[in-house]
Amino acid sequence: MEETTKYISVRFETTNKTYTFSTDDPTIRNNDAVVVETQRGLEYAKVVSDPFDKPNVGMEIKPIIRKADENDERQFERNKKDAAKAKEICQKESDALDLQMNVISAEYTLDRQKITFIYLADDRVDFRELLKVLASIFHCRIDLRQVGTRDKAKMVSGIGVCGRELCCARFIGDFDRISINMAKNQLLALNIQKLSGQCGNLMCCLKYEDDAYKKLRKDLPKLNSQVEFEKEKYRITSMNVINKTCKLENAEHAIFITLDELIAKGKYTKQVSKEEKEESVAEE
């Protein structure tokens, strides 16, 4: 008997991540709207792939409930409008209780059985009283979820220093650990203000080329290292690992040479700083 079950990827409006669901409906295609059941309840989603065969995953794959109809479309649009009002009400009630929280979004499940409020706060918030107040207003399950500044930037979006939409809003699903050592590896000026994104944390793009820079800088001396080149002593004052050049200076003059020349003719002792040692241990 021929296998009729197919699998498709869907995306929810509030996230850039895709999720896989199964379906026996042969009419479902890319860009269709569907109704699925998640841990939060019934939700409206958009199909972002054509049907494909079963993926090689060990976890259970839930089925699509149905293809969304006009009633689902209208309900979804109504929920978005009501959620905007609910966000304002939640902020007003939290302020009345003097809770130090900034409500940044609200979202209903499609069947309106649950509403989720996303908020920012510096510390943990005791919102037990707020839950009681909100439950009496909305008459459904209430979920209050605290997020960090990076999550807020992902939800709000914006334009980065590169002139494009923020990476976190456009395609990043999960946040990686970003450290100042990644900027050091790329020989960037350690200006925290310029290295920080709209969330106030180090920019995610510092991670993209980190492995390449580590590989390019392997076995090279550090900036400001002392080096003997053609029987003269110099200090390495700048280095460009992309075009493979560096600048050597001493009290008399300065010269530009290639990194290949530095490796072949220069005499230096590779020094490992305390920060590099700690980073190496952390990576292990």
Query: Where are the chain's structural domains?
Result: 6-68, 73-147, 153-213, 219-272
Q: pLDDT tens digits, the chain, 284 residues: what are they?
A: 345 788 999 999 877 678 899 999 889 999 999 999 998 889 999 999 988 888 776 678 899 999 999 999 999 999 999 999 999 999 999 999 999 999 999 999 999 999 999 999 888 889 999 999 999 999 999 999 988 888 777 777 888 888 888 888 778 777 888 889 888 888 888 888 889 888 888 988 888 888 988 888 888 888 888 888 888 899 998 888 888 899 999 988 899 989 888 888 887 765 544 444 444 444 43
The predicted model scores a pTM of 0.66
If one counts every other C-beta atom within 10 angstroms of the C-beta of residue 55, the result is 10
- The radius of gyration of the chain from alpha carbons, rounded to an integer in Å, stands at 27
| CATH code linked to domain 219-272 | 2.30.30
The whole-angstrom separation of Cα 90 and Cα 162 is 35
The whole-angstrom separation of Cα 230 and Cα 186 is 28
Collapsed DSSP state (helix, strand, coil) of residue 254:
strand
Helices (H), the chain: 70-96, 128-138, 149-156, 167-170, 180-185, 192-195, 210-217, 259-265, 274-283
- Strand 66-67 relative to strand 41-47: parallel, antiparallel, unpaired? unpaired
Would you tell me which CATH number, out of the four given (3.30.43, 2.60.120, 3.30.300, 3.90.930), belongs to the domain 73-147? Answer: 3.30.300
Q: Would you say 54 and 44 are in contact if contact means Cβ atoms under 8 Å apart?
A: no
Dihedral of CA atoms 94, 98, 102, 106 in degrees, nearest 10, equals: -10
- Strand 114-120 relative to strand 141-147: parallel, antiparallel, unpaired? parallel
Q: Angle, nearest 10°, between helix axes 128-138 and 70-96?
A: 140
Residue 265 φ then ψ, to 5°: -110, -20
